[in-house]
Structure 1
C-alpha cells in the first residue's frame, strides 16, 4: 500500500507541476506576438492573431484552445457553409465570428458526448459487454450536439425576424409621423431610435451610428437592406435611401408599408388558424362533446334504472 501511495503522490505532484508550467507559458507573450507587429513586409494574414475560443476564460482557453481550434477547423471542413453561417449570425445579431461559432458547436458536441459517456459508464456497470454500442452512442451524441447548435442558430434567426415583423408597423408609423411633422429623415430616425426598444430599433441604431461616423446615408441603409433577411425591412431601407438621395416624399411610403405589414400579419393569422382547424377541434370532440353527452343522457339513464327498480 505504501508503494501505491508513493506512486499516486508522485503522479499528483507531477500533474501539478505540469499545470503550473503550462500557466507560466501561457502568461509569457509569444515571440510572434512581440515581433510580427514590427514587420511591415508581411501580409495581413500572417500578422493576424489566433482566432478566439468562444467565451471561455483566458486560462481555460489557453489550456484547451489548441484542441478546440483543431476541432472547429475539422467541423468547418466537414460541414462547410461558412458564408451561410456568417449570414445567419448577422441576421440573428449574435456577436460571434464563424470560428467562434464552430468552437461553440464543438463545445455543444463535447457536452452531449460527456452526457452519453456518463450514461454509458453507468450502464456498463450492469452490462459490460455493451462497450462498442456505447461508443457509437457517444459519437452520435457528439454529432447531435454539433448539429443542435446549428439548428438553434436558425431558431434564433427565426425568432428575431418574427420580433422585427411584430414591431415594424409601430416603428414605421413613428418615423412617418416624425417626417410628416417636418423633421429630416436622419433626425426622425434618431428620435425613433431614442423612443423605441426592440430588434428593429437596434438595427436602426447601428445604421445611425454608421451615418454619424461618416458613412453616406444611402450606403448605410443599403447595407441594412443587404444584411437583413426580411423583404419588408429591405424595402423599408431602400425606400429611405432613395428618399434621402432624391428627395422624394417619405411619409406616405412609410404609412403604406406599415399598412401592408399589418394586413400581411392578419392574413398569416387567418392562414395559421385554417391550418390548425383540426387541432382546434380536438378539445371539442374529445372533451366538450363527451361531457355534453354525459350530462344529456345521464338523467334519462338514471330515471330508467329507478323505474325498473
Structure 2
C-alpha cells in the first residue's frame, strides 16, 4: 500500500477538522448567550446559571484548564494583567489566554503535519517528532508572552522619549496661570502619543468620579518608567498640597534628557567594536583600492612600454 494517499487523507482530515473547529468556535463566540448577557446585572447569578450546580466538566473545559495551567507556567496571571495594564490595552486576561492557546494550537497542528510528512519520507524516531511538536507548541505560547513584554517595553520607551516635551508643555501651561488639572487636560487634548493617551486615561478616571490625586497615584503605580512615576507623584502632591510645579517639571524634563544622552553615549561605547565592522570590512578595503589602483595601472603601463 502506498504511503502517499494515506498521508494525504490524514492531512486533509486534519485540515478539515481544524476548519470546522475554527468556524464552530467563531459562531459560538460571535454572539453571547442570553444568560451570559443578563447574569452580570442580576444579584443571584447561581440561580440563573443552569450549569452552576453541574459537577461534570466537559472535555473542552478540561483542555482549556490544562492550557491555562501551561500558560500560567510561562507567564503568571498577575504578570499578564500588569503588562496589559501598562500597555493600556482593553484586552482582558481571558482574551489574551485564548489568543495564546490559539497560537499554540496552530503551532501544534503545523508541527504534527510536518512530523507526518517527515515520517512519510524518512524513517525518523517518533520520540524526536514528539519533542519537535512539544517545542513548537511551547515556543508559540512563549512567543505570545514575549511579544506582550516587547510591546510594553517599546511603549514605555516611546513614553520616555515623549516625556520631556510633555513636561515642558505642562510647565508652560501652569506658568500661564492654569491649574495642574486644567493643564493636563489641555496638553492631553492637543498632544498625540502614548504618554498623551495615559494622560487622557487619567483625566477619564477624573471625569468618571475619581479625584485627580488618586488618578495620578494610579498612573504612578501602574507605569514601569521611573521618570513618569515621579512625574505623576509630583503632580499628585502639587494638587493636594499646592506646591510649586513649574520648576519641578522643568527639572524632571532636564533630568530625562540628560539620562537619554548618557544612555546614548553608553550604548555607543558598548557597540564600539560592532561599529568597527563596517569600517574594517567596507570602508578600509575601498580606501586601499583607491590608494593603490592608480599606481598598479601605472606599473602595467610602464612595463608594457
Indicate the TM-score class for this superposition, using the shorter chain for normalisation. 0.7 to 0.9
Structure 1 unmatched ranges of 5 or more: 1-11, 51-62
Partner residue in 2 for 1:204:
199
Alignment CA distance shift 1:305-1:29 (3 Å): closer
Partner residue in 2 for 1:223:
218
Alignment CA distance shift 1:114-1:274 (3 Å): same
**Kept after mapping to 2: 8 A contact 1:221/1:237:** yes
Q: How does 1:13-52 map to 2 (within 5 A)?
A: 29=33, 40=44
**Kept after mapping to 2: 8 A contact 1:218/1:244:** yes
Equivalent position to 1:279, from 268, 274, 278: 274
CA distance in 1, matches of 2:204, 2:36: 35
Partner residue in 2 for 1:266:
261
Question: Per-residue deviation at 1:301?
Answer: 2.6
Partner residue in 1 for 2:243:
248
Partner residue in 2 for 1:4:
none
Partner residue in 2 for 1:118:
113
Structure 2 unmatched ranges of 5 or more: 1-15, 53-57
Alignment CA distance shift 1:227-1:177 (3 Å): same
CA distance in 2, matches of 1:134, 1:91: 39
Alignment CA distance shift 1:268-1:80 (3 Å): closer
Alignment CA distance shift 1:148-1:293 (3 Å): same
**Kept after mapping to 2: 8 A contact 1:68/1:103:** no
Q: SS at 2:136's partner residue?
A: helix
Alignment CA distance shift 1:38-1:303 (3 Å): closer
Q: SS at 1:94's partner residue?
A: coil
1:144 aligns with 2:139: yes
Q: SS at 2:121's partner residue?
A: coil
Q: SS at 1:125's partner residue?
A: helix
CA distance in 2, matches of 1:240, 1:264: 21
**Kept after mapping to 2: 8 A contact 1:75/1:102:** no
Equivalent position to 2:171, from 157, 176, 181: 176
Alignment CA distance shift 1:196-1:36 (3 Å): closer
Question: Per-residue deviation at 1:262?
Answer: 1.1
Equivalent position to 2:101, from 87, 93, 106: 106
Equivalent position to 1:304, from 287, 299, 302: 299
| Runs of 4+ that moved beyond 6 A | 30-37
Q: SS at 1:266's partner residue?
A: helix
Alignment CA distance shift 1:80-1:162 (3 Å): closer
Alignment CA distance shift 1:113-1:252 (3 Å): same
Cα RMSD (Å) of the superposition? 3.4
Alignment CA distance shift 1:291-1:285 (3 Å): same
Alignment CA distance shift 1:96-1:135 (3 Å): same
Compute the TM-score of the two structures, normalised by the length of structure 1: 0.78
* Bigger mean CA offset, 98-107 vs 125-134: 125-134
CA distance in 1, matches of 2:40, 2:178: 51
Equivalent position to 1:192, from 187, 191, 194: 187
